[in-house]
Amino acid sequence: MTAPEQTIEVAGRKVRRLGFGAMRIMGAPDPLALMRRVVELGVEFIDTADIYGDGESERLIAEALHPYPRQVLIATKGGFIPGKLQPGQRMLPADGRPERLKRVCEESLRRLRLERIDLYQLHTPDPAVPFADSMGALIELRDEGKIAHIGLSNIGRGHIQEALELTPIASVQNRFNHTDRASERVLELCAARGIAFLPWGPLQTGADAPLEALAAETGARPSQVALAWLLGRSPVMLPIPGTSQIAHLEENVAAASLRLTEAQLGRLASA
């Protein structure tokens, strides 16, 4: 089989195809050591958001890594209202008003100690705000030099098509893993348009017999097989597994070296 490409172009940069999602670093025994280990292991794409710890994830990333190594691309997001999920809630409430998106982007710039954010993503569309208005705010931020590239998160194909009528889109970040492939058609559109696809929640919880069987076959952990499957699934895939543990981080990064055969990939695809 042909080995998956080891790098991907996103936001005008080539980065290694296994990134890091910084949602959980606040729970790490030593968040600064964790983030420094991320870079030591060769991870070049770090994804965070303003709601992760109400800005604490961004602050910790800056404290650990600023001034940032030249090869590291920091991406962040805005569009949700910080808080805790209430019983029955699947997502936090959205706020995609242009004035608020501009304000929270400025706050992210300060916390990250950046003059320009390489990739700034609309964290979710706001049903109470016209999508074009939210996009307009990000376009203005880019035109002002505060962000370099625009990404989208938690969106459908229609959002991508509407956004592309207004501006280039560098990335899409939707939930996607071996047991949740609801965004399959979104991934297909991203592949057709050359848009990087950042699967959040790439390491699903719960038993997964096909992954466990392949893990036993390859001598890897099921989580590593899950990441290797994503990397083999599409060349636009850029998984961003997160963790609060250095040992788990090292396991995840090692998954980039796991090569699954076409037959193994096919077994997982049809499972």
Along the 271 residues of the chain, how does pLDDT read in single tens digits?
Answer: 455 678 999 999 999 999 999 999 999 999 999 999 999 999 999 999 999 999 999 999 999 999 999 999 999 999 999 887 778 777 888 999 999 999 999 999 999 999 999 999 999 999 999 999 999 999 999 999 999 999 999 999 999 999 999 999 999 999 999 989 999 999 999 999 999 999 999 997 567 888 899 999 999 999 999 999 999 999 999 999 999 999 999 999 999 999 889 999 888 888 7
Catalytic residues: 52
Question: What is the pLDDT, as a whole number, of residue 164?
Answer: 98
**CA–CA distances in Å: residue 158 to residues 91, 162, 215:** 20, 6, 37
> Any bridge partners for residue 16, and if so which?
7
CATH number of this structure's domain 7-270, picked from the four choices 3.90.105.10, 3.20.20.100, 3.40.50.720, 3.40.190.10: 3.20.20.100
Q: How far lies 131's CA from each of 102, 103, 121, 158, in Å?
A: 15, 18, 13, 11
pTM of the model: 0.94
Structure tokens at 134: 């939210």
Q: Cα separations (Å) of 138 from 23, 62, 74, 93, 113?
A: 22, 23, 17, 19, 19
Residue-level pLDDT at 208: 81
- Residue found under tokens 């396991």: 251
What integer pLDDT is reported at residue 1 of this predicted model? 45
Q: What is residue 86's predicted lDDT score, i.e. its pLDDT?
A: 75
pLDDT for 83: 81
Domain extent listing, the chain: 7-270
| Per-residue pLDDT at 266 | 87
Name the amino acid, one letter, at 28.
Answer: A
Strands 7-10 and 13-16: antiparallel
Strand order, beta sheet including 171-173: 20-21, 45-47, 73-78, 117-122, 147-153, 171-173, 196-197
